[in-house]
Amino acid sequence: DTEVTQTPKHLVMGMTNKKSLKCEQHMGHRAMYWYKQKAKKPPELMFVYSYEKLSINESVPSRFSPECPNSSLLNLHLHALQPEDSALYLCASSRGRGGAQPEAFFGQGTRLTVV
Amino acid sequence: AQTVTQSQPEMSVQEAETVTLSCTYDTSENNYYLFWYKQPPSRQMILVIRQEAYKQQNATENRFSVNFQKAAKSFSLKISDSQLGDTAMYFCAFSAADKLIFGTGTRLQVFP
């Protein structure tokens, strides 16, 4: 099973709403990532969790709050977003440091629209 | 800081022909990995091929092969016998110390 599952696939939210994006993997991977991708642009790294601890935060605004409840799950909590936050949000996982297979596997993404 | 550069925003190739996509990177790391990912319109990011920096031998995966020039920090992707299903956005990516960063991408169109 090389699947990373993201829910929901599409999300429309108002600027005052609170919502969460979810990501799940059952490959035993110990590194999990959140990326933001605007149209016709590359994915931009937001957060990295390594062994369930936040290891990288790429200066992401606090209206985005990541959470890693366990080694299989990764959440991204959203609050008071702006229209410019509309994008495709991708989750990925990899074996982590020292892993024999360093490649990251990606979910299909959540298409977020902020109105 | 690491950077990944793809200088070809768009490429096109006829079916069954060969095409090469370019990528250069910059890093001070000694241990790292390089990847090519493909993102078709379905938006799923799919791994095409990977290269360990410590390996001199170029990676090959069926119709896909790389030309890895470590001293020049160059990592190009060759697609042989191009197929219509190869039409996608191709991203070169660099990984070190839990960080995976992407180049700007090359849009490849395969024509019949």
pLDDT tens sequence across B69-83: 999 999 999 999 999
CA angle B81, B76, B58 (to 5 degrees): 85
The per-residue pLDDT for range A61-84, each reduced to its tens digit, is 999 999 999 989 999 999 999 999
Going by pLDDT thresholds of 50, 70 and 90, the confidence category of residue A25 is very high
Higher-confidence residue: B79 or B100?
A: B79
The per-residue pLDDT for range B12-48, each reduced to its tens digit, is 999 999 999 999 999 988 889 999 999 998 788 999 9
Nearest to B98 among A31, A43, A105 (CB): A31
By C-alpha distance, the chain B residue nearest A50 is: B98
* pLDDT given at position A2: 67
Q: Is the CB of residue B103 less than 8 Å away from at least one CB of chain A?
A: yes
Report helix, strand or coil for A16.
coil
The per-residue pLDDT for range B47-59, each reduced to its tens digit, is 999 999 988 899 9
Per CB-CB distance under 8 Å, the chain A contacts of B97 are: 97
Chain A residues within 8 angstroms (CB to CB) of chain B: 31, 33, 41-43, 45, 48, 50, 55-56, 88, 90, 92, 94, 96-97, 102-106, 108-109
Q: How many CB atoms lie within 10 A of CB B95?
A: 22
* pLDDT given at position B96: 84
CA angle A73, A74, A75 (to 5 degrees): 125
Q: In a 10 Å sphere around its CB, with 0-12 CB exposed, 13-18 middle and 19+ buried, how is residue B112 labelled? A: exposed
Alpha carbon A52 to its chain's center? 14
Q: B54: Cβ–Cβ under 8 A, 6 or more apart, which residues?
A: B31
As a whole number of angstroms, the distance between CA B22 and CA B19 comes to 10
**Interchain CB distance below 8 Å, A103 and B42:** no
| Residue A26 dihedral angles phi and psi, to the nearest 5° | -125, 40
**Interchain CB distance below 8 Å, B100 and A108:** no
User: Cα dihedral sign for B2, B39, A95, B34?
Assistant: negative
Q: What is the mean pLDDT of chain B?
A: 94
**Interchain CB distance below 8 Å, B98 and A102:** no
Q: B73: Cβ–Cβ under 8 A, 6 or more apart, which residues?
A: B24, B25, B26, B27
* pLDDT given at position A64: 98
